[in-house]
């Protein structure tokens, strides 16, 4: 009689459980703090968190390269934070300022650029660099045209928004550059005899 072999899986850290559990905890945080959210607010937040988690899961499953995964997670997280902060309080003045729609163009550059380069690591470097430049231009244009809050508050908002989000886009570009180098090295490596 033949004994069936059992496959032994090494234990892995429960990243999925931690990620989705963390998003659920963030969704419950306003309720626990007593924030005056409506059901529509919770629905919007749940949809955004589901999209965030789903995109990160897709990126992690698509590539086995840790640098690519890191770049994708930083880029997706940055896009989420930009959209969330722009919807909540706005980057130029208050959240109702129509000039904040310029930052949707920044997101469109990231998304359409990624589609154009088929989310390849070498192309994503340029897309993230272009997105950082678009972030800088949108903030600078908004401040120059007087769309930001008046005085020092406007300078602070624009500087913080451009510096924070621009840096995050460039961190993603750096991760994708590392992934592209790794990919190029693995293609040119010859087997030893």
User: How far is 25 from 46, CA to CA, in rounded Å?
Assistant: 11
User: How far is 17 from 118, CA to CA, in rounded Å?
Assistant: 29
Does 26 reside within a domain?
A: no
Euclidean distance between the first and the last CA atom of the chain, given in angstroms as a whole number: 42
DSSP state of 93: S
- The residue written with tokens 């924030």 in the block is 35
Q: How many folded domains does the chain comprise?
A: 1
Does 11 reside within a domain?
A: no
Name the residue with higher pLDDT: 11 or 39.
39
Does 112 reside within a domain?
A: yes
Tokens representing 184 are 């190029």
Predicted pLDDT of residue 11: 59
pLDDT digits (tens, 9 = 90+) for 110-124: 999 999 999 999 999
For residues 165-170, give the mean pLDDT.
98
Q: Kindly report the average pLDDT of the chain as a whole number.
A: 90
Q: Which helix (H) or strand (E) holds 82?
A: helix 66-88
Query: What confidence category does residue 52 fall into, taking pLDDT thresholds of 50, 70 and 90?
Result: very high
Query: What confidence category does residue 1 fall into, taking pLDDT thresholds of 50, 70 and 90?
Result: low
Does 33 reside within a domain?
A: no
pLDDT digits (tens, 9 = 90+) for 135-164: 999 999 998 998 888 888 888 888 998 999
Q: What is the 3-state secondary structure (H, E, C) of 130-151?
A: HHHHHHHHHHHHHHHCCCCCCC
Does 17 reside within a domain?
A: no
Residue-range definition of the domain harbouring residue 121: 42-183
Predicted pLDDT of residue 3: 62
Does 192 reside within a domain?
A: no
Does 189 reside within a domain?
A: no
């Amino acid at each position: 009689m033949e004994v069936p072999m059992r496959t032994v899986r090494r234990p892995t850290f429960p990243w999925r459980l931690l990620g989705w559990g963390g998003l659920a905890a963030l969704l419950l945080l306003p309720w626990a703090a007593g924030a005056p959210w409506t059901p529509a607010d919770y629905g919007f937040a749940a949809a955004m968190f589901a999209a965030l988690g789903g995109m990160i899961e897709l990126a992690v499953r698509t590539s086995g390269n840790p640098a690519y995964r890191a770049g994708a997670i930083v880029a997706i997280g940055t896009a989420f934070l930009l959209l969330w902060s722009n919807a909540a309080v706005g980057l130029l003045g208050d959240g109702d300022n129509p000039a904040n729609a310029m930052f949707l163009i920044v997101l469109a550059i990231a998304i359409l650029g990624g589609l154009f380069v088929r989310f390849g690591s070498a192309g994503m470097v340029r897309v993230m660099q272009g997105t950082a430049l678009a972030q800088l231009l949108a903030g600078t244009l908004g401040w120059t045209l007087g769309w930001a809050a008046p005085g020092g508050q406007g300078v602070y908002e624009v500087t913080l928004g451009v510096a924070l989000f621009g840096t995050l886009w460039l961190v993603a570009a750096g991760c994708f550059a590392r992934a592209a180098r790794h990919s190029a090295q693995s293609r040119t490596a010859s087997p030893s005899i």
